[in-house]
Chain A
Amino acid sequence: MKNSLIALSRDALNSLRDLAPIVVVIAAFQILVIRQPVSGFLSLVFGALLVVAGLAFFIFGLRIALFPIGENLAHSLARKGSAFWLFTFSFVLGFGTTIAEPALLAVAEEAAEVAVGAGAIADNQAAIDNYALGLRLVVALSVGVALMLGVFRILTNWSLPVMIIGGYVLVVIVTAVAPPEIVGIAYDSGGVTTSTVTVPLVTALGVGLASSLKGRNPMTDGFGLIAFASLTPILFVLLYGIVTQWI
């Protein structure tokens, strides 16, 4: 109990330090460039305190829950030795955490507006909802596939640079034939898919898996899952843009 309190207060001090640069940047620009008074100073200070406390709580919880459970699962999956359950687990983890991602919801709606503007789909609510839902399913599917690919790579020890760079070469080729209005959204969707709760779990999964397999090094083999999760959404959304253009 006492140890936890010490750890928690250390996390709080660290988050103060982590947020200091933001405060400096905002203050410097307000004072030197924009030169306009800021309203509600007290509520700003209170909000900043909430951010510090929130960050400290999150990191603390990460250490005692997210990391251990991710690694435990990876170890027991490796012990069980069933490739089927390993792939099922990675797919469901990727698909499930992405489909409900709020950032993705926002991007899907904006993308539907762009598609209407470009004349790719009809300008009515049903068509827009359909397109946005389709996009979300495609992105979630792509993250599920990405984690499966990443786990497959750890199991087979294929070269990560070759797979990732090969993937991006594919992205460049598909970009050339995709409708121009989907390109910006597709490239951005690679970045929005990996949420704050998913990243620690996925990292623990990869590292745990690599450290429980013989002949794998957790440093060179455990990382790389998130790299796949940033690549496949680009490819899948570009393909989605091409396919919806035909229909």
Chain B
Amino acid sequence: MDLILKALSFVLGSALDVAPIVFFLFLFQLFVMRERIANVKQVLVGFVFVTVGLGLFLVGLEQTLFPLGRLMAQQLTNPDFLYEISGHIGDTLVWQDFYWVYLFAAAVGFSTTLAEPALMAVAIKANSVSGGAIGVWGLRVAVAIGVGVGVSLGCYRIITGMPLQHFIAAGYLVVIVQTMLAPKMIVPLAYDSGGVTTSTVTVPLITALGLGLAEAVPGRSPLLDGFGLVAFASLFPIISVLAYGQLAALRQQRAKSSTEQAELAEETDHAL
């Protein structure tokens, strides 16, 4: 009963999020474009599905993933737990002692990104626009690997207290070099995947992890050092998606050169 009420309030909440957008779209279509909307009924039904879906999705997360994830982030950064696995406490803690945190950060970053609805939307679109050259699943795994690596590295930064901007600047240097080498068609998509990864599922979990870490590590302030994980999670997918494009191009090239060689061999056979 409690849960049903909660589910209703979440659906209502997402309706309040979606309603202004729908209102604006319809207004624009009717008064500026002066055009009737095609398939009004289908569009309206679709918006109801989007709203109800988003509401159920969020209430389910609130019920399961978020409390568990927050609890686990707290437990893994708990001084007692860290003492138990490393024998270090307080100021004697070194960055290697947090290996479970790095692993957890990478695993959570990876798995939550696979379930991110906004990323699915972009992957579906990219797949249909590229005529199937970019796989829905391939793109999502590439982005998820980037987020996993990014969040893990972001945790390392919080623990060591190194400046955020150094990491970000270095990351963008890598992006610049990759942009020059990667196939042109992947570049805009790669830049976009930085922004789409961090919406509904990933942000609440990694924020909890960052704040928990900043509290557990001596000399860090949650307010100053707890931020920045989202920035890591938006930078590294750019790198991994560009790499995905580079790998695909490389494989294509190799396949091409091997068929060329085969043709060449065939030609010499004929000549002989």
Q: Which residues of A contact B (CB under 8 A)?
A: 15, 18-19, 21-22, 24-26, 28-30, 33-34, 36, 38, 43-44, 46-69, 72-73, 76-77, 80, 85, 89, 92-93, 96-97, 100, 102-103, 110, 113-114, 117, 160-161, 164-165, 168, 172, 175, 180-181, 183-185, 187-188, 190-201, 203-204, 207, 211, 217-227, 229-230
Contacts and interface: CB of A to CB of B under 8 A. Distances in A.
- Chain B binding surface, main DSSP class: helix
B20 A100 contact: yes
B217 interface: no
Contact of B129 (A66, A198, A207): A207
A136 B183 CA distance: 37
A70 B104 CA distance: 38
Nearest to A93: B24
Contacts of A160: 187-188, 191
A30 B63 CA distance: 17
B119 to A, nearest CB: 8
Contacts of B246: none
B125 A67 contact: yes
8 contacts: A34-B76, A50-B7, A60-B53, A165-B176, A188-B230, A194-B199, A201-B21, A219-B129
Given A50-B63, A57-B50, A25 B195 contact: no
Contact of A175 (B17, B165, B175, B187): B165
B45 A114 contact: no
Interface stretch (B87-95, B108-116, B249-257, B258-266): B108-116
Given A43-B63, A194-B195, A227-B194, 18 more contacts: A26-B72, A48-B60, A51-B115, A54-B55, A55-B53, A60-B49, A72-B37, A73-B33, A172-B169, A188-B227, A196-B199, A196-B200, A211-B129, A219-B126, A219-B129, A219-B188, A227-B192, A230-B194
B24 A22 contact: no
A76 B32 CA distance: 10
Interface string B26-49: 001100110101110011111111
Contacts of A36: 75
B233 interface: yes
B21 A194 contact: no
Contacts of B17: 100, 102, 195, 197
Interface in B70-108: 72, 75-76, 100, 104, 107-108
Contacts of A103: 199, 203
B195 A190 contact: yes
Nearest to B224: A181
Given A72-B38, A161-B179, A223-B188, A204 B125 contact: yes
A46 to B, nearest CB: 7
B64 interface: yes
Nearest to A27: B68
B37 A69 contact: yes
Contacts of B227: 184-185, 187-188
A92 B48 CA distance: 23
B120 A33 contact: no
B1 interface: no
Interface in B178-202: 179, 184-185, 187-189, 191-192, 194-200
B61 interface: yes
Contact of B196 (A50, A114, A199): A199
Contact of B60 (A54, A60, A102, A172): A54
Contacts of A52: 60
Nearest to B46: A65
A18 B225 contact: no
A220 B183 CA distance: 10
